[in-house]
Structure 1
């Protein structure tokens, strides 16, 4: 059902941006300069929302219907939550915008993901954000759900140059740590409240493994998982890329990837000491931001845009509470390399997968035969997959 232009134009949109951790100057040139990225997230999300309505529905949203709230403060996760919470509730303009909004987009990156989840859950619990009356989408880019690459813990940069905020990131590797539990509880809460959540990992990320960015240990129908791939390494016929995309489609369809995304993550790591990698380039890509309005407006329960009639402010959207399922995943410095073979076997022996994705399995078989990797890491991956070639 398409909304009247005047109805959509009368809606109030709030867009919040939360940057990641502040690395030292030595590392900023590689993993990204966080100063100003909160504003960038807001601006890019606003652009994506306006573009969505123009291209998909021939509607031009006036700029005055949008309120942009970039949130900036550095420090450890809970310190940032407290500071940003105070900024929001002590600022009458921001507080009023949040409470009166019809639609809220929340965009974040890296360490900003647990900060955003805990803060968002608090705002919902205190009824500042009324999730039953407001449509809300959280876009998390390269989030730190299960910590950084475990191998970075002993790096000289982390040991001698980084502050407590960076070292705290490794606490997310341990599901029993206080901050990891707080984040996991907040994520479960906002997912169960019906908040649509997009988790986007970055291929060749130097800091955050794919399994961490896509929150591999959590399952919920409100999660959409995706991956950003730098243009210079993308090929539509590359076996590894297609394998990763296939595994993400399985998770998005509610099916198991049998641990494939976890065990393929190590080979995707970029180099922290070079310009290669996508930890910061992910938020330069406009198509990443475009996922937010597409997912919020084109899928149930808000699919069909906004209602044609003007809802009464006290009329709640009907939602079905679905419990988030989360396992206590503990990141390891080194994963067992033989698990990858068993993960692939699990996929090809899964009747649900073969029934729904049979054509894609056939394509993977053909791409595997044509795949001739040159790097030692990729040749090792192909070697591990050789035993199941018969199933491919």
Structure 2
């Protein structure tokens, strides 16, 4: 994170920070989620230098990985509640890499690795598969609080994660204007013209634009699962890439975000005071839409061991016939490109060939009509 911040400031603003301008706080601790929160909080308050750095900082960049995502969100909420962070003068961005927000792959729950060798902390992670579980509810309450207070959240999943589904890493059931979603792709599997990769990126762009993906990322996640028995990168390589951290740095500095302070500034000029010209009526509508996005939207979620394979064609049909999506110029171009890539796509693995087979009935009706 430090390397990304220094690189950004040097390249974008020709600014070099002194060594004492940045305080790195490496928090470590094992155990179940709430046990870790307690341990990490005690680490912080017992180190006066760290506590002062958090309280006096101009910006706070918070990086976390895997199980650390719910731990970090709930710890951050606790720090806000106890007055250690002051959002009226501090900007905060949390980067969650391969976060286990909706639990691991359900298929791992009965594996020998988890059943016999992993600790209670690992088994607890499967409770996140159900949004109604006790620990999920606590996580969601904290998440809702920090987002509504103006904290930015960057969610980066790994394309071939062996442990965490993409839908879990990008927290598919939660929507808010301060969330940015992205995918990390290992170099050895990346191809600019790969249909599946472009389909995932398209779905993420929809979510970042505030447009529903009709559940596409949930259904695609099952196909993307990496192997925990062979090295394929993914879960343990995402945090080694500086560009992942750079995304969070740029999101913090280069975008305005939504916060209670911004809402107060909007309220100082009531929309009714605007002249009722066609342009201002349109602006008023956009303002009302923006205000609706300022509240966190949370859908119930429960992971399934196996998804119904017949849902995928209907999910894609919903996307391609969505009135909002069809009106956007950039989406129309992307749909046309996806059509071309699909026609050229020749997957080699059995899993991907099955995925393409499930989409064949839509080749002409949906892809062809774009």
Q: State the TM-score, normalized to the length of structure 2.
A: 0.89
Matches within 5 A, 1:286-365: 286-301=242-257, 318-320=261-263, 322-356=294-328, 357-365=331-339
Query: What displacement does 1:275 show?
Result: 1.1
Q: What is the RMSD of the two structures over their aligned residues, measured on CA atoms?
A: 1.3
Question: What is the rounded CA distance, in whole Å, between the counterparts of 1:107 and 1:157 in structure 2?
Answer: 27
Shift of 1:301: 4.2
- Write the distance in 1 (CA, Å) between the matches of 2:215 and 2:49: 46
- 8 Å CA contact retained: 2:65, 2:96: yes
Match of 1:83 in 2: 39
Kindly indicate whether residue 190 of structure 2 is the aligned counterpart of residue 234 of structure 1: yes
Give deviations 1:224-260, integer Å, cap 9, x for gaps.
Answer: 0000000011000000000000000000000011110
Q: CA deviation at 1:317?
A: 8.2
- Conserved 8 A contact 2:203-2:217: yes
Deviations 1:328-374 (A, max 9, x none): 10011111111111111011001211222111111111111110111
Q: Deviations over 1:111-155 (max 9, x none)?
A: 000000000011111221112210000000000011000000000
Partner of 1:68: helix, strand, or coil? coil
CA distance in 2 between counterparts of 1:276 and 1:296 reads 31
Partner SS state of residue 194, structure 1: coil
Per-residue deviation at 1:210? 0.3
Aligned residue number for residue 368 of structure 1: 342
Provide the rounded CA distance (Å) in 2 between the counterparts of 1:211 and 1:85. 29
Q: Any conservation in 2 of the 1:354–1:361 contact (CA below 8 Å)?
A: no
Q: Which consecutive unaligned segments of at least 5 residues does structure 1 have?
A: 1-44, 303-315
Distance (Å, rounded) in 2 between the aligned partners of 1:337 and 1:186: 34
Relative to 1, partners in 2 of residues 1:301 and 1:178: Cα closer, same or farther, differing over 3 Å?
A: closer
1:257-308: CA deviations, max 9, x gaps? 1110000001100111111241001111111111111000011149xxxxxx
The structure in which a higher percent of residues are helix is 2
Any idea what SS the aligned residue of 2:261 has? coil
Alignment-derived partner of residue 113 in structure 2? 157
Say if 2:150 and 2:257, in contact at 8 Å, map to a contact too.
no
TM-score, length of structure 1 as denominator length: 0.84
Aligned 8 A contact 2:177 2:257 in 1: no
The residue number in structure 2 matching 1:33 is: none
